[in-house]
């Protein structure tokens, strides 16, 4: 099987031009540009001898006949201010491998661009609904930050829908290429990462409630200052987690909202997000215990009421051993000594597919680790190496 | 001089009814209810034999003739959701003392209700402009949170204006009674506080800029997390200030704004307020040094850019010794052993008046220290004790 790098790069740049803004791309799920891109992709699939198929939420498949096939792809929607590669890379690399496979007489490769991977409405919404992780009725109620519902979003593509959700059972596996979105490969000068697992995520919203008070007349020892509770929790948590985590473990307080949030008022309420990720379920659980214990201690000592919202969790997803070996052997052949096994710290559509079939992922470097940003980029030689590893691995599966 | 508690309480409740909402009052500066209250007050002043005088920003004076007089009062505007006493108490107590003085044949007492003490547009805006702390042209550009300008606000009262700003030189001093707005008197069971000084304030906005990044793919050791910088600064600062402060010193981080403020994104930017108050200028300065040094250290160690906005400061204001003694002696006569000297942690119109004349303040207890809240209240016996102390002190000044 001989993938054609020029044809691949041309297709990738053609897709980039739909919704291009400077060096970036603005093509959020169900926007005019997103739908335009999906129509263009459907035509590309047809040209490659694949049958385009839009499911009820706008996931676009390019099917290699009615028999079993290996599914490859990613997503073509972007962040509100997205990079040009992100999901687009995986879709176009999959299409090029499918073309090369057609030309070589096999194997059967179907291609997919999942819808709303970037979470305008939920998280990996299109692949999650397809895989049965969330019912369509439930998903329809999700709202975007502009107040529109998922039902309204997908209604914009209703005229394109080919039929019901495709049975995942028709696919023998799922392989996705993606940019790393982190700094490891770029820093080490490696060309390719073979993903070992997609890390699990836990996130919950924590509310500390004290008492809003005049910042001039309320003595320090009588304050029930919710921000002080948050800051102390953060510092204590950092100390305690050091004994439990690995260098790959991450935890983040990314969202903070104080009430009433004025310079002259002791903050009476702090609502904040607590998110943590790791490849190991046991470690996620140990971290949860430390988080709950620490916040309860701090709240108790400071006379703050504590409320912890529901914990949303995604389990770590192990990549299929056979598919992973195929990728690793292909990586060693195409980029000897310049690849590594690595976990994926980001969530991907592969997590959804893994509910039904063996999955694997391949990473190429992100320059300076930047993604979800107009500056996102990858060296052309790395894009091509990734394509070649993908094609070689798929060919070896025969 | 015999002040009449019933007449005083009736006037206070009459004023309360204008803009009453439940147990609270909604009468922000230049609102219809605020203007209605000022018209009602002008009529009350006239009935008491005082000449009503609206200056160009709506400060309402009740003048005791053209000769020198002692000015007493506070403000009748409220917070957006204000308590019923706050500034109203000081205005109505002053009016009752002025009535009693008239009945006793002296001394000459003028009364004032300053405008926008609560800072809908600035801070103690009306008294500040009157006292020359800010030019009218400058003040006119101040905007409220609803986007209206101070010029637009005061235009609503333009038809009431009597003439230019009154010369502060016509007043021999300024005495203001106010609720404490803090817990000290209520906790100790004391009836009256004789204010020794109004604490000085320093406030500045601090910005830490790191890098927004994917919370899944960015390893902890490569993050430049602005929230982590803020939390570490807060904890280190608390430790370092302990050696410098007194039990009355306060410091507050009341406003925090993270960017982009999402659960899955390492915060790239944190903008926050740093405010501190103390009665001693040197201590305020030492605290400033520790704050600047600590934030610079934390920012440097974490690779965060640091930007500190202009520091806005109000110097501590000492109360006049003679006026303070008169209040202290009257307090001991009316409430033997149940009063104290104390600093005011809150800012008051007395700060503005002090630019031109000796000033003094008297506090009565706030139940549970609550103010700027519909639940704000003071026991009736304490209101009356405050009135009597005020009248006795003023009489003793002759």
Q: Which two tokens stand for residue A354?
A: 């893994």
> Cβ separation of B254 and A275 shorter than 8 Å?
no
User: Which residues, given as ranges, of chain B have pLDDT below 50?
Assistant: none
3-state secondary structure of A273: strand
Q: What pLDDT is recorded for position A122?
A: 82
**Paired tokens of A268:** 């009476």
Tokens representing A166 are: 């495709």
For residue B234, the chain A residue with the least C-alpha distance is A231
Measured between alpha carbons, how far is B389 from B391 in angstroms, rounded to an integer?
6
Of A233, A220, A235, nearest in space to A270 by CA: A233
Closest CA to B366 of B386, B351, B393, B348: B386
Rounded-to-integer distance, Cα A316 and Cα A308, Å: 23
d(CA A141, CA A170): 29
Distance CA B395, CA B102 (A): 12
Q: Measure the CA–CA gap between A317 and A359, rounded to whole angstroms.
A: 9
Give the mean pLDDT of A322-343: 97
Predicted pLDDT at A272: 97
Phi, psi for residue A46 in degrees, rounded to 5: -60, -45
pLDDT of B342: 94
Peptide bond preceding A107 in cis form (omega within 30 of 0): yes
Mean pLDDT of A280-298: 97
Per the CB < 8 Å rule, is A227 touching B275?
Answer: no
For residue B260, cis peptide bond before it (omega within 30 degrees of 0):
yes
Q: Which residues of A touch B256 (CB under 8 A)?
A: 227, 256, 258, 261, 267
- How sure is the predictor about A157, in pLDDT bands with cuts at 50, 70 and 90? very high
End-to-end, the C-alpha distance of chain A in Å comes to: 10
Taking the CA of residue A223 and the nearest CA in chain B, the distance in Å comes to 10
Alpha carbons within 13 angstroms on the beta-carbon side of residue B130 total 32
- Measure the CA–CA gap between A70 and A212, rounded to whole angstroms: 59
Nearest to B214 among A181, A214, A231 (CB): A181
Q: So what's the pLDDT on residue B195?
A: 97
- 3-state SS of chain B? CCCCHHHHHHHHHHHHCCCEECCEECCCCCCHHHHHHHHHHHHHHHHCCCEEEECCCCCEEEECCCCCEEEEEEECCCCCCECCCHHHHHHHHHHHHHHHHHHHCCCCEEEEEECCCCCCCCCCHHHHHHCCCCCHHHHHCCECCCCCEHHHHHHCCHHHCCCCCCCHHHEEEEEEEEECCCCHHHHHCCCEEEEEEECEEEEEEEEEECCCEECCCCCHHHCCCHHHHHHHHHHHHHHHHCCCCCCCCEEECCCEEEECCCCCEECCEEEEEEEEEECCHHHHHHHHHHHHHHHHHHHHHHCCEEEECCCEEECCEECCHHHHHHHHHHHHHHCCCCEEEEEECCCCCHHHHCCCCCEEEEEECCHHHCCCCCCCCCCHHHHHHHHHHHHHHHHHHC
Of the candidates A124, A194, A177, A155, the residue with the CA atom closest to the CA atom of residue A30: A155
Using DSSP, state whether A305 is helix, strand or coil. Answer: strand
Q: Which one, of B249, B280, B62, B305, lies nearest residue B162 by Cα?
A: B62
Residues in B closer than 8 angstroms to A252, CB to CB, are: 215, 225, 263-266
Measure in Å the smallest separation between the Cα of A232 and chain B Cα atoms: 7
Q: Which of A232, A251, A257 is closest, CB to CB, to B235?
A: A232
pLDDT tens digits, A169-182: 999 999 999 999 99
- Cα dist from B366 to A150, B152, B370, B375, whole Å: 51, 34, 6, 10
Q: What is the pLDDT of residues B154-174, one digit of tens each?
A: 999 999 999 999 999 999 999
Nearest to A346 among B216, B219, B252 (CB): B216
End-to-end CA distance of chain B: 11
Q: Across the interface, which of B230, B263, B267 has its CB nearest the CB of A203?
A: B263
- Show residues of chain B in contact with A268, CB under 8 Å: none
- Of B218, B251, B261, which has the smallest distance from its Cβ to A369's Cβ? B218
Residue A260, preceding peptide bond in cis (omega within 30° of 0)? yes
Q: Which of A181, A203, A215 sits opposite B250 (nearest CB)?
A: A215
Quote the minimal CA–CA distance from A252 to chain B in Å: 6
pLDDT bucket at A210, cuts 50 / 70 / 90? very high
For residues A249-267, average pLDDT:
94
Under 8 Å CB pairs connecting chains A and B tally to 177
Cβ–Cβ under 8 Å, residues A27 and A84: no
The rounded distance, in Å, linking the Cα atoms of B104 and B50 is 15
Cis previous bond, B36, omega within 30: no
φ/ψ bin of A367: left (φ > 0), alpha (ψ from -120 to 50), beta (otherwise): beta
Distance from CA of A53 to the nearest CA of B (A): 32
CA of A286 to nearest chain B CA: how many angstroms apart?
A: 18
**CA of A237 to nearest chain B CA: how many angstroms apart?**
12
CA distance A68 to chain B (A): 34
- Contact (CB<8Å) B263/A255: yes
ipTM, two decimals: 0.85
Fill in the DSSP letter of residue A31: S
Within a 10 A sphere around the Cβ of A282, how many other Cβ atoms? 8
CB contact under 8 A, B250 and A216: yes
The 3-state DSSP class for residue A177 equals strand
3-state DSSP assignment of residue A276:
strand
Contact B258 A256 (CB under 8 A): yes
A216 chain-B contacts, CB cut-off 8 A: 181, 199, 201, 250, 277, 344-347
> What pLDDT was estimated at residue B145?
82
* B234–A231 C-beta distance less than 8 A: yes
Q: Judge: A263–B252 Cβ closer than 8 Å, yes or no.
A: yes
């Amino acid at each position: 099987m001989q993938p054609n790098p020029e044809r691949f790069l041309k297709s990738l740049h053609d897709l980039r031009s739909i919704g291009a803004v400077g060096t970036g791309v603005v093509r959020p799920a169900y926007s005019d540009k997103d739908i335009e891109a999906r129509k263009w992709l459907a035509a590309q699939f047809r040209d490659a001898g694949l049958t385009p198929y839009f499911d009820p939420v706008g996931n676009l498949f390019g099917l290699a006949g009615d028999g079993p096939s290996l599914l490859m792809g990613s997503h073509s929607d972007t962040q509100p201010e997205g990079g040009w590669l992100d999901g687009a890379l995986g879709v176009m690399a999959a299409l090029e491998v499918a073309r090369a496979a057609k030309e070589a007489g096999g194997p059967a490769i179907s291609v997919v661009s999942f819808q709303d991977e970037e979470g305008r409405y939920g998280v990996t919404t299109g692949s999650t609904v397809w895989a049965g992780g969330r019912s369509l009725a439930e998903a329809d109620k999700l709202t975007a930050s502009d107040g529109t519902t998922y039902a309204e979003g997908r209604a914009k593509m209703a005229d394109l829908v080919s039929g019901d959700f495709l049975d995942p059972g028709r696919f023998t596996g799922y392989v996705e290429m993606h940019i790393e979105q982190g700094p490891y490969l770029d820093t080490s000068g490696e060309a390719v990462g073979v993903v070992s697992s997609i890390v699990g995520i836990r996130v919950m919203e924590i509310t500390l409630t004290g008492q809003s008070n005049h910042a001039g007349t309320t003595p320090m020892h009588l304050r029930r200052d919710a921000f002080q509770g948050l800051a102390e929790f953060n510092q204590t948590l950092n100390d305690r987690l050091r004994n439990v985590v690995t260098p790959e473990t991450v935890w983040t307080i990314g969202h903070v909202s104080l009430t009433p949030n004025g310079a002259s008022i002791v903050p009476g309420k702090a609502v904040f997000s607590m998110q943590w990720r790791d490849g190991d379920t046991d470690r996620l659980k140990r971290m949860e215990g430390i988080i709950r214990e620490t916040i309860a201690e701090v709240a108790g000592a400071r006379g703050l009421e504590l409320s912890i919202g529901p914990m949303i969790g995604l389990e770590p997803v192990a990549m299929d051993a056979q598919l992973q070996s195929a990728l690793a052997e292909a990586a060693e052949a195409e980029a000897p000594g310049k690849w590594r096994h690595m976990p994926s710290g980001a969530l991907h559509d592969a997590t959804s597919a893994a509910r039904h079939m063996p999955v694997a992922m391949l990473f190429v470097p992100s320059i300076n680790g930047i993604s979800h940003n107009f500056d996102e980029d990858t060296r052309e030689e790395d894009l091509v190496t990734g394509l070649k590893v993908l094609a070689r691995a798929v060919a070896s599966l025969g």
